[in-house]
Amino acid sequence: MVMLSRSKVVGVALALMAAGAVLYFWPRREPGVPEAITRQVITMTRAAEQKDISGVMEGVSERFKTDGGWDNRQVRGVLTGQVLRGQWVRIFTTNLEVHEVSPTQGDFQARFIFGRSQAENLKDLAADSVLNAYLIEGTFEKETDGEWRIVRAKYRPLEASELL
């Protein structure tokens, strides 16, 4: 049987605490522009699928404008209509491309396919489902609070032939 002295136990405990503190306070690498924007797109998409409009809008800047002149409030209304209709919502993001413009700005393009259904059970799912697909292009900027938000966007509906 091995007997440890009190000083050895305290020494080991202090060493473990010091190692934990070093790991906790070790500087973390900030993600690059493409990774940060990709993460934000994924976060916003998940929030939309959970019908969390506020969560989606956290990624939309107060300065947001579309090429058609929509602002932040108008986009909230459109998103609410898209997301809150139906019993469930699923959003597929495909062909996401992100290009760094500067350390605080990046452009993106992606296809977003919105699947919605009023079905309350599996047998009605196919008959009661609606798909809408859009190509969205825009710009994210890292704002003064350190968060990445979309500031400009344009979109167009996609034809079924464009989804493949």
pLDDT in tens, 101-139: 999 999 999 999 888 777 676 677 677 777 888 999 999
Domain that holds residue 42: 31-162
Q: Tell whether 3 is covered by a domain.
A: no
Those residues whose C-beta lies under 8 Å from the C-beta of residue 54, and which sit 6 or more positions away, are: 47
Cα atoms in the Cβ-side hemisphere of radius 13 Å centred on 19: 6
Q: Tell whether 26 is covered by a domain.
A: no
Q: Tell whether 158 is covered by a domain.
A: yes
Q: Tell whether 120 is covered by a domain.
A: yes
Q: Tell whether 16 is covered by a domain.
A: no
- Please, what is the average pLDDT of the chain? 85
User: Long-range contact list for 82-87, CB < 8 A, 24+ apart?
Assistant: 82/48, 82/114, 82/116, 82/132, 83/48, 83/51, 83/53, 83/56, 84/51, 84/53, 85/116, 86/116, 86/117, 86/118, 86/130, 87/117, 87/118, 87/119, 87/120
Give residue 1's pLDDT.
Answer: 52
Torsion angle of C-alpha atoms 47, 61, 135, 88, degrees rounded to 10 = 20
State yes or no: pLDDT of 95 exceeds 80. yes
Count of domains forming the chain = 1
Q: Tell whether 1 is covered by a domain.
A: no
CATH no. for residue 96? 3.10.450.50
| Alpha carbons 150 and 130: distance in angstroms, whole number | 27
First to last CA, the chain: 68
Q: Tell whether 45 is covered by a domain.
A: yes
Give residue 26's pLDDT.
Answer: 64
Q: Tell whether 11 is covered by a domain.
A: no
